[in-house]
Structure 1
Amino acid sequence: MELTFAVLVMGVGATWTVDVWAVVRQLLLGVPRPNYGHLGRWLGHMTRGRFLHKSIAAAARYPGEAVIGWIAHYLIGIVFAALLLAVTGPGWLAQPTIGPALLFGISTVLAPFLLMQPGMGAGIAAARAPRPAFTRLQSVFTHAVFGLGLYASAWLTH
């Protein structure tokens, strides 16, 4: 039960950290916050057998897509937290160190690069985005922030 609680705290805490980063990034850099409704739309269309889109923004809306997207956003964070503990072992929680959390967080950028962005029409690693290099850099920074959130949240489980 303690491990399950730790995974939940870490996943929710790290995902919340990403959401705070999105607000800060928007205020400081003018970068729009992610539209998790698009994630919900993409996932919703999967239930109808459609996995790839030319443009998720142009795809038909899916009922409840915003709620689906936000729930999925947090569930993905929880799954990633569980995977970090699967990689490091639960003993890492006794004395969390920043290295594994940060490296793992950055490595999770492979999910959007190889799955989400291509599926939503942006291409592998946002190759078809209007500013691919900028989009990639923002993704890497965001996933580094996620890793920092995993580390900070791990300390909360003590």
Structure 2
Amino acid sequence: MRHVPKPVTPPPAPKFRALLLAPPQGEEAMPPTRREERAPRRDDPRAGDSHIRLRAAPRHTETGNANAQDFLDQVGDEQLNLTVELLCLRRAIDELARHPRGQTLARALTVREAMLTRLRDALECLYVRTATRRLHPLFLDDGPLADYLRGLYAWLHAAIRAFDQLVDSI
């Protein structure tokens, strides 16, 4: 039995039609727009709401902890700033390591940068554990723990800035 090939059929024609007329132009070309909602007035309680960091309203018994929540929001911002500064320092150290004169200093700064990163990670663990509302009284804005944490963050920022200046000077 001989194999006879089947005839090849051409592919089907496309199902679309070419656009022969130009689309409408001007005001009638666009669909009607919805009216924008007015921005809340300053006396509206929603005027100060954050659309980035929403959180549950405090209970009546926890109104004193709102001060602690503001401080913890500042700690979250400090964590973000430290992360960015440490990434910039890491990049500067990597650039320094490419130069023959800076390789020894880059190795020493890498050790220091790792120590600063560990401290930042430990502070992040502390920050994550503050999600429990029971701990909020410990973090009142005028409390000693808040002052201690502010001092730690200030020291970290100063140390990173000093290392950045050292790398830039070489």
Normalised to the residue count of structure 2, the TM-score between the two structures is 0.27
Q: Which of these two proteins has the greater Rg computed from alpha carbons?
A: 2
- Relative to its length, the structure with more helix (as a share) is 1
TM-score by length of 1: 0.29
